[in-house]
Amino acid sequence: MTIVHGRHTHLARQLWGLRRQSRLPDLHVVVAMDDPEVEPLARSQAGPWDVRVASLPRREGRLPLAAARNLGVAVAARARAEQVVLLDVDCIPSPRLVERYAAVLADEHRRRLGPGGAPLVLSGEVAYLPPAPAGRDYRDLDLAALAAPHPARPVLAPDEVRPAEDLRLFWSLSFALTVRSWEAVGGFDEGYVGYGGEDTDFGQRLGGSGGRLLWVGGAAAHHQHHPTSSPPVQHVHDIVANANRFARRWGWWPMEGWLDAFATRGLARRDPDGTWRVTGDAPG
């Protein structure tokens, strides 16, 4: 399952990666966020699997990332999916990603949890690609050799599974779980609108439900390069609103580095009551 707004070339490359899987998906759910061009692309470049495309409008002018993920899993569940893989549109799956996630989910639930056990989330490695050389496409290159691992997350052997000690490191770029585990956690909180905070909240609620996060080797995804800014000033409104929501619930601040960087640039400030506020100088 993936959610999409723009990034059509990235989606086409992801579909190329899915067509190369050692175990093809049974179903591919795509949720288009305010983007009517997504459905024809998802259908025209699909492999031999069932395709379901759902759509959501913007919410208050912002992309409903959390709500889109919830909708996608709901569509998969209605199609009687038992396991789901959520993959960011920027990610190209390595050839064994689907097979590896499915095998580890089945093994872990059989050996440790049983049918009524605590929620379990698997997270494969995501490595970052540099820009493709001029005139070349990622589909012509050795992605595993090019991609650099994330410095804050473990690098595992292909057959390794390791419990995560810090649930703050959960991210939605690539993860897998059963529909039962998804329902036990409650999906993503749709009160987070736009960019930032919803992943960290999901990780905390996973822990609060007694669940576990496992790092899984052999289920690598390769994150396609795209321009970024640090801090992401284009998302300042989303990040401030979502950080305030998170702090009210959990009592500590996510994304502190970004909030402090916004304050240094005069884009946000901390009010006397402790909440953050976007200043008039921030981009709209």
pLDDT in tens, the chain (284 residues): 999 999 999 999 999 999 999 999 999 999 999 999 999 999 999 999 999 999 999 998 899 999 999 999 999 999 999 999 999 999 999 999 999 999 999 998 766 544 557 899 999 999 999 999 999 999 999 999 999 999 989 999 999 999 999 999 999 999 999 999 999 999 999 999 999 999 999 999 999 999 999 999 999 999 999 888 889 999 999 999 999 999 999 999 999 999 999 999 999 999 999 999 999 777 76
State the pLDDT at residue 116: 59
Q: Rg for the chain (alpha carbons), in Å? A: 19
What domains does the chain contain, in order, with CATH numbers? Answer: 2-223 (3.90.550.10), 233-278 (no CATH)
Supply 267's token pair.
């884009």
Strands 174-178 and 83-87: antiparallel
194 CB neighbour count, 10 Å cutoff: 21
Alpha helix (H) residue ranges in 25-165: 38-44, 65-78, 97-108, 143-146
Q: What angle do CA 156, 177, 106 make, to 5 degrees?
A: 75
Model confidence, pTM: 0.95
Supply 242's token pair.
């979502």
Tokens 């699909």 map to which residue? 46
Query: CA-to-CA distance for 108 and 99, rounded, in angstroms?
Result: 14
What distance lies between CA 56 and its chain's CA centroid?
A: 17
State the pLDDT at residue 230: 84
Q: What angle do CA 113, 115, 75 make, to 5 degrees?
A: 115
